[in-house]
Structure formats: structure tokens, C-alpha cells
Chains A and B, each alone.
Chain A
């Protein structure tokens, strides 16, 4: 721990009695019951750190230039970027250790560019984002975002019928198998997003070489020209698509098929049903 961080921690401890508040909203951003955050107390009590106003102000200025178009001016979500005040990464960030690398490296897979920023600039951005999160969490209502309570309009029985019937969900899923306890792993908006389209689902691919040999693995890359997979020895291998045949097995596409068939009620009912799978 460097001396700067030590000093910051001291100031947090001193300020703690003023800033303690119950982690009502933290659960909304977490995928599990366990809360971890900078300065977190033992029983879900979170100590909210305060930052020098000048640092927050300069971070806010930077944020409005580079970040606010996608993440919203108040960091509460914008055109394409997520609500940072409900971000798990922000919640778990300690003095920029998570935010800094994301800013510097970007998230190319999600369309976020990288930003070449100094230590001081990262520190100010981090201070602004945490301050916005603190403000948002300490405010009840009155802000945009999706609460778990918003997503309770469906009928679980109707959702089960859709799951077992028209939705065709049982082709791949089982409430006692892969989905057992799903509502304990995901909540609210995160659960709904997973339900509609699990972005991180893996596809399989089988490549047939000119020799007739076949290799099956996890699809790692595919464009018109190159197919790449992780083979059974965990090695990455690739071929020109013009040299081999390849067949992708992507069960996740069944989710895409449903988009044009769902009613909004179907979605709300399915949500109600999945929330019973604790």
C-alpha cells in the first residue's frame, strides 16, 4: 500500500461515522448475497468514502468531456453505456484499481474505447464516479434506473406455462437443472438481461479439415475469413474459412428466435417464474 492510498484510507476512517449508511441498494448490483466493497463493514454495512470536492469537480469535468455521452452526465447511464452508479465494478473498485484499467484499456468487445489518462486524471474520475454512486445510493427514488421492485408485474404461473410450452425453454433448460437457484445468482435487471439473451454463453464449433479430420471446441473467433476455437487441450487454433468446413452449434440463438414472438407480458411472466427459482 503506498502512502497516498494509506492517507486516503485514514481519511475514510475519520469520516466514517458521518458517512455510514445501510447497503440497501448494493444488493441490486451484486450477483450474490456477499457484499464486498472498499471499507465495507462485516454485516453488509458500507462505509461510503468521501473525496476532496476539488478532485470530484475536476473528475466531473473530465467525465462530461469523455464519458457522459455513453454513461450519462450523472454517471447514471446514457446512450450506450451502463449506469455506473449501479455498476458492480464501481462498487468493488478501491481507489481506482478497477476503474483505472477499464479507462486505460477500454472494453473493445463492448464498444468502449480506451482513454490515455494520467494517474491524477484517473484519480479524479474515480472520485467523481464514486461520489455519483454515493449520491445515487443515498437517494431514494427520484432517479432513473431499474429496481428489483419494478420487475414484479408478471404472473409466475403464466410464466411457468410459457416456459414449459410456447417459449420452448425446456428444450435447453430445466428449473431443477441449470436454472436451479438462478434467482439467487442473478436479480432484477441483471436476471432479465440474462433471461432475454445470455451474452456470455459459449458456442461450440466443429471444423472439418481437408483431410477429413474433425476438431470440435469452444468457438473463440469467427469472421468471414477466419475461424478460431479452443480445442480440448485448451489451445487456441485457427484456420482460414476457405480451407476448412465449419459448423457452429449456438443454442443461444434460440433466444434470438424468441424476440419477434414475445409479448411484453410473456417477458414479465417469465421473469416472475424465474424469480421463484431460488
Chain B
């Protein structure tokens, strides 16, 4: 046996060994670091698609000219009453999406079910679920009773399960984890009790905690706030190695008397080092909030010109009614501008933070407040249209009345509020000025997020349950389809077999749309 032949055999046996020991590496790839950093066109590997949170796709098969021909490719019925609020993942031709206690794996070509996992119904809020994350061939899923499960993507069997928060104290979980390197970042929910929010980093192989960052001091610390829940998926800048996350409202929710001052780090955008969990900077969107305006809306990462200078920016349309542009290297404010009616502040301070008006805190005889508690926008995703430089958001101009009196106490909600009026508007914001470039009225409030594409399309939905395709340059309607239920999710898009798909959901049904197939 000559040495060449020996070498060849050795190479073959190594390949065979690899195929046996690493079955995921040759066929189904799962999700690796490169996929997350540069998602291929035939994937949607994380909650926001890529790490930027822009929800802007480079796909151009569906255009403003041909979108009128777009039709249903398939629909998938969950047969559940819980509406789909998740963004599906697409990995290796399979869509993974959720409602509380449920995960489905569905063939992205045909819409047929591959498997369905059901978590045993337990305690905790079942208000909604945003979806799963994937690392290698493994899915990560948070349960209403605040456990993180790792499942095998192939068949939905559970690898391990760890508790991330104590449901008996009032925590629950609903968010889609964020994978950064070999870390699974998870956040928690819990507004009805005076509890601290946190972000926890968990080892994807073992479930062990790597670090935890607390947004507020422990409950019971004198004159300090609790709250700052972390219930939406953050974004990540690999060059700066910073993770950006929005934090929720302080508790007690509608009463600020026991938590004087700004209540850090509630209602804030925070930048953390993902290797250590250490805070690098924070920008507080609502100092001393008393209106339940979580600042968890997507921190969208955009590189580009700001008033003539190249900037690494972070943009957020926040629940409190303001659009913020920050320098994401250091958290310094570049722009603060309302994107609808707001009446709760005295002005904007030197750091670019709105100054809350004490006279607009909830009161025994009521205060008329804009926006309402659901906010000028909420968890539904916005999109940054890199083609037109527009930040496009599903907005909710609204008014409500807020009450709080001593008898309401200082625990949990500690007051009451009632929506008076509201409507839905898709708004395209010029990020350099905060001015509204176009508006598209959508009737009542909609829960639909926004997706834009390089061909110049904006996909979203109205308050009646119509899916919409708009011209990104002027907001004019180019296509629509009545879905038969309320829309609570954000659209995604991908290309498979050379065909671009748009995936939307309403009620308990997932819809895939595409142009007619050439025969």
C-alpha cells in the first residue's frame, strides 16, 4: 500500500467518521455563526431575520410592478384559538413557529406539518409567544412557566429544560431567544408584581447560566424601582460586539411615589457586552415612567449618513410615542422626535430624553394621556427601508385616561387606565429629521409588523385583517388580501427553489404568498 493510497483511505475514513459523529454537518446544516451573521436568501435564522432588526430583505423577485399577481402558495392551520404572534424561523427549508405551549415544524415549500410539539399546560401567562431560536440543529423555546427548553430540530424531542425565572413569583416568558456565538440570550416578563427584570445568557449545550444582567435592584431596596422586564428579542452588532436590548416599565406600574428619580434601567435601551453581560452604555427612553410604556421595541441598527457624517446608528420607535436615533457606539442621542400625538412631557432634556410632566401622572380624578397604554407602537416589528432611508412603523395614535389613588396601593398595577380612542396608521419616518414622509391609514389599530424589500415594497397589514403590500416610496397600496382575522405578527420573506415567498399570519393561520409559478 503506497503512501498516497494510505492518505486517501485515511481521508475517507475521517470523512466517514465526521459523517457519523457530526450528522448535522453534511446534510441539514442547522444554524451556525456565519448563517446568523450573513443569512442566506433561503433562510430566516433568527427572530428579526438578521442581527440588525431592520427586517429589510435584499430579495427583488416580487416587485411593485408584479406584486398584484401575488397569490396564495399554501396556508397552514394551527387549529388553535391562540393567535400566532411569532416570527417563524426558516432553516434548511423548514419553518419553525409557535403559540404559547406549541411549536410547529412545517415544510416551507408545501406548508405540510413535519412535527408538532406541545408543552404540558402549566402556570404562567399565556398572553403570546414570539417564536424560537436555533443553534446548530437545536431549537430554544421559552415556556409560560419561565423555562427554557432545548429541542432537536429534526423531531421536536426535548434535549433539556432549565428554569430561567420563578413563575410562582409572577414571572413568565414569551420571547424568542437571541443566539450570539455560543450563548442563548433570554429575557423575562412580569408586570403584576414588583420584580426585577433581567437578561440571562445560557449555554446552548448544557443549559448552564453563563451570566445574568439585572435591569433593576432587588425588590425591597428602599426608594428603588423594580421592573424593567426584557420581553423582546434584542439586536447585535458583531463589529462592536455589543448586544442591544430594550427594557420594560418600572413597577409599581402606574404609581411612582415609592420609586423617586429616573428608575434606571427601566424603559431604557441598553448595550451589553455579550461575553460578560456587563453594561457598556444605556439610554433611557422614558425616565420615571408611570404609563406602562415598555421601551422593548426593536432597537434597529443602521449604518449610514446622519447630517453629513457616517454614523453607526440605533433607531427605535418607542411605545411612549418618540422616535429616537442614537449613536450606537456610545449611546449618545442624535434625534428625538414624536411620531404621533404625545401630551405627557414638558420637553426634551439635553441628553435627548423626554422630561415627564408630573401633572400627567395618573391621578385620582383621571388624566387624559396620549398615547394610550398600548403605546404609539408595540412589539410588532418596524422596518428600516435602506433603499429610501425610511423607518416604517405600524403606529397607533391614541388617547386614554389614567387613574391612581392612595387606596390603589404600591404593588403591581397600582392604578387603572382606560383606552378612549385610537386608530392605526403606517408611517414612514425620515430618520434624519423625524418628519413623517408618508402616512397610510389602516382603520383601527393593527398588530401587523412591517417588512421592506430592496425592490421597493412594504409588507404589513391593516386593522381589519387585510394583508397589504405598499409602495415604499409613497405608501400607496399595490396588493391586498383579506385574511379573516386580526393580524398579530410581522411578515418574513425568503427564496426557495428560485421562488420568493412572503409569509404572514393572522389568527391561528400561517399564509405563504408567491408569484404564480412558471410552468
Closest to A140 in B: B407
Closest to A253 in B: B421
Minimum CB–CB distance for B171 against chain A, Å: 12
| A146 close to B366 (CB less than 8 A) | yes
Complex contacts, A152 vs chain B, CB 8 Å:
365
Chain B 402-423: CB-based contact to A (< 8 A → 1; otherwise 0): 0111011100111110111100
Q: What bracket does the count of chain A residues touching chain B fall in?
A: 35 or more
| B408 close to A143 (CB less than 8 A) | yes
| B401 close to A145 (CB less than 8 A) | no
B40 is an interface residue with CB less than 8 A from chain A: no
Interface residues on chain B, number (Cβ under 8 Å)? 50
Q: Which of B14-22, B117-125, B155-163, B281-289 contacts A (4 or more CB under 8 A)?
A: B117-125
A100-156 interface (Cβ within 8 A of B): 106, 108, 111, 113-116, 141-146, 150-154
A42-91 interface (Cβ within 8 A of B): 61, 64-66, 68-70, 72-73, 76-80, 82-83
Closest to B359 in A: A264
| B366 close to A151 (CB less than 8 A) | yes
A220 is an interface residue with CB less than 8 A from chain B: no
| B364 close to A260 (CB less than 8 A) | no
| A260 close to B466 (CB less than 8 A) | no
| B125 close to A64 (CB less than 8 A) | yes
| A259 close to B416 (CB less than 8 A) | no
B311 is an interface residue with CB less than 8 A from chain A: no
B295 is an interface residue with CB less than 8 A from chain A: no
Complex contacts, A196 vs chain B, CB 8 Å:
368, 399, 401, 420-421
Complex contacts, B401 vs chain A, CB 8 Å:
192-193, 196
Closest to A141 in B: B407
Minimum CB–CB distance for A59 against chain B, Å: 14
Complex contacts, A256 vs chain B, CB 8 Å:
421
Minimum CB–CB distance for A27 against chain B, Å: 18
| B368 close to A144 (CB less than 8 A) | no
B213 is an interface residue with CB less than 8 A from chain A: no
Q: Give Cα distance in the complex from A10 to B518, angstroms.
A: 71
| A72 close to B374 (CB less than 8 A) | no
A223 is an interface residue with CB less than 8 A from chain B: yes
B334 is an interface residue with CB less than 8 A from chain A: no
| A150 close to B368 (CB less than 8 A) | no
Complex contacts, B127 vs chain A, CB 8 Å:
69-70
Chain B 355-373: CB-based contact to A (< 8 A → 1; otherwise 0): 0000100011111101001
Complex contacts, B421 vs chain A, CB 8 Å:
196-197, 255-256, 259
| A144 close to B81 (CB less than 8 A) | no
Q: Give Cα distance in the complex from A162 to B370, angstroms.
A: 22
Minimum CB–CB distance for A99 against chain B, Å: 16
B292 is an interface residue with CB less than 8 A from chain A: yes
B385 is an interface residue with CB less than 8 A from chain A: no
| B413 close to A144 (CB less than 8 A) | yes
Complex contacts, B292 vs chain A, CB 8 Å:
79
| A259 close to B419 (CB less than 8 A) | no
Q: Give Cα distance in the complex from A64 to B403, angstroms.
A: 24
A40 is an interface residue with CB less than 8 A from chain B: no
Q: Give Cα distance in the complex from A259 to B443, angstroms.
A: 18
Complex contacts, A259 vs chain B, CB 8 Å:
341, 368, 370, 399, 420-421
| B125 close to A69 (CB less than 8 A) | yes
Closest to B507 in A: A113
| B365 close to A153 (CB less than 8 A) | yes
Task: Name the one of B365, B405, B413 contacting A78, with C-beta atoms under 8 angstroms.
Answer: B413
Complex contacts, A66 vs chain B, CB 8 Å:
126
Complex contacts, B144 vs chain A, CB 8 Å:
65
A94 is an interface residue with CB less than 8 A from chain B: no
Q: Give Cα distance in the complex from A70 to B125, angstroms.
A: 10
Closest to B343 in A: A260
Minimum CB–CB distance for B485 against chain A, Å: 8
Closest to A154 in B: B365
B182-238 interface (Cβ within 8 A of A): 191-192
Q: Give Cα distance in the complex from A59 to B294, angstroms.
A: 30
Closest to B463 in A: A223
B486 is an interface residue with CB less than 8 A from chain A: yes
Question: Which residues in A have some Cβ–Cβ distance to B below 8 Å?
Answer: 61, 64-66, 68-70, 72-73, 76-80, 82-83, 106, 108, 111, 113-116, 141-146, 150-154, 189, 192-193, 196-197, 222-225, 255-256, 259-260, 262, 264, 267-268
Question: Which residues in B have some Cβ–Cβ distance to A below 8 Å?
Answer: 81-83, 121, 123-127, 144, 191-192, 292, 341, 343, 359, 363-368, 370, 373-374, 399, 401, 403-405, 407-409, 412-416, 418-421, 443, 462, 464, 466, 477, 480, 485-486
* Complex A-B: 20 CB contacts under 8 Å: A64-B124, A68-B125, A78-B192, A78-B413, A80-B419, A111-B486, A115-B81, A116-B81, A142-B409, A144-B404, A144-B407, A144-B408, A144-B415, A145-B416, A193-B418, A223-B443, A223-B464, A224-B480, A260-B341, A264-B359
Minimum-distance CB pairs A-B, first 5: A69-B127, A144-B408, A153-B365, A141-B407, A197-B421
14 additional A-B residue pairs with CB within 8 Å, beyond A72-B192, A264-B366:
A64-B123, A77-B416, A108-B485, A113-B81, A143-B407, A144-B403, A144-B404, A146-B403, A151-B366, A196-B368, A225-B480, A259-B420, A260-B370, A264-B365
